[in-house]
Amino acid sequence: MSNFVYDATTIRALSDVITPARLAPYLTASNNDLQAAIDLYVWNIKAAARLYGPLSIFEVALRNALSREMARLFGTPDWIGAHPFIALGTALLNSRPRNAPAGKPPASPTDLLSDITKTRDRVNKELARKSRHGPASIRAGATTDDVIAALDLGYWTKLLNRDVEQHLFIPGLYRAFPHAPRKGKLPDRGPLSNTIHGIRSLRNRVMHFEPLFQRDLANEIGNIINACRLIDETAGDWIEHHSEFGAGARDRLRPRHYF
C-alpha cells in the first residue's frame, strides 16, 4: 500500500519530475493552481489510456485492410518486395514535386519505399539481438508479415495521399473501405484521407503524452468508431461496445484522479 500523500513537498517534487515547461499548459488551464494542474495531468494520462484501445483497433483494421488490397493490386502477399511496387515507388521519387499554391513550396512526392527499408532494418536488428540471447529457433531475418506489422500508422496514411490516388486508390485501395460514402462509383478519397490523418494526429498526441484536455475527445472517439466502420462495421461496433470515454470525460472536473 502506497503511503503517498499530496502536500507542498510532494507537489513541488512532482512539478520538477514532470518539468515546469511540460506542466505549463496544465497550469494555464488550472489558473496557476499547481495541485489542480497535477490533477489535470493525471486526468490526461487516464484519457490517453482510454483512447489507446480504440486507436489500436482502428490502426490494426486499417493496416490489414490496406495491406490486403495492396497484395491484390500487386499480385502477391509480398507486395512490399514486388518489382512493380518498387518501380512505382522509384518513379514517384524521381517525379517532379506537385504544384503548390502561390507562396508555398511544392509538396514532395509520396515516398513509398524508405519507411519499408528502415522498418525491415529495424526488425532485422531486433531479430539478430534476440538470436544472440535466445533459442536457436528465432528467425534470422524479417518476413514480409514482420515488416508490415511493424510499419507505423503514418505509412498507411501515405497510401491515401493525392499523388498516389491514380496509382493505388483508384486501381484498388478503395476496396479497403467498402462502407465509405461514394463519389460516383468510388469512395471520395479526399475526406477519407483527411479523417485518417486527423486520427493519426490524435494518435501521435496520445503516444507522445501531449495535452488532450482542450480537444473534444468524445467527438474524436466517435470519429475513430465511424472511420473503423468504413473498413469493417463489426470492428467499429466492437470499439463502441468497449469504449468508456463518456465516463472519463465526466471525470474531468473531479478534484482527484487515478491512473
pTM across the whole model: 0.87
CA 46/CA 206 separation, integer angstroms:
10
> Is residue 2 very low, low, confident or very high in pLDDT (cuts 50, 70, 90)?
confident
Q: Kindly report the backbone phi and psi dihedral angles of residue 209, in degrees, each rounded to the nearest multiple of 5, phi listed first.
A: 60, 35
Q: What three-state secondary structure class fits 187? A: strand
6 pLDDT above the threshold of 70: yes
Higher pLDDT, residue 4 or 258: 4
Give me the pLDDT at residue 175, please: 97
> Is residue 216 very low, low, confident or very high in pLDDT (cuts 50, 70, 90)?
confident
pLDDT tens across 231-246, in order? 999 999 999 998 876 6
CA 248/CA 46 separation, integer angstroms:
8
The C-alpha cell that represents 45 in the structure block: 494520462
pLDDT tens across 79-97, in order? 999 999 999 999 999 987 6
Give me the pLDDT at residue 254, please: 59
Give me the pLDDT at residue 1, please: 64
Give me the pLDDT at residue 106, please: 63
Give me the pLDDT at residue 248, please: 54
CA 115/CA 170 separation, integer angstroms:
23
Domain residues of the chain, as ranges? 11-99+106-253
> Is residue 108 very low, low, confident or very high in pLDDT (cuts 50, 70, 90)?
confident
CA 62/CA 214 separation, integer angstroms:
27
The C-alpha cell that represents 221 in the structure block: 472517439
Share of the chain above pLDDT 90, in %: 72
> Is residue 129 very low, low, confident or very high in pLDDT (cuts 50, 70, 90)?
confident
pLDDT tens across 45-79, in order? 988 988 999 999 999 999 999 999 999 999 999 99
Which residue type does 35 have?
Answer: Q
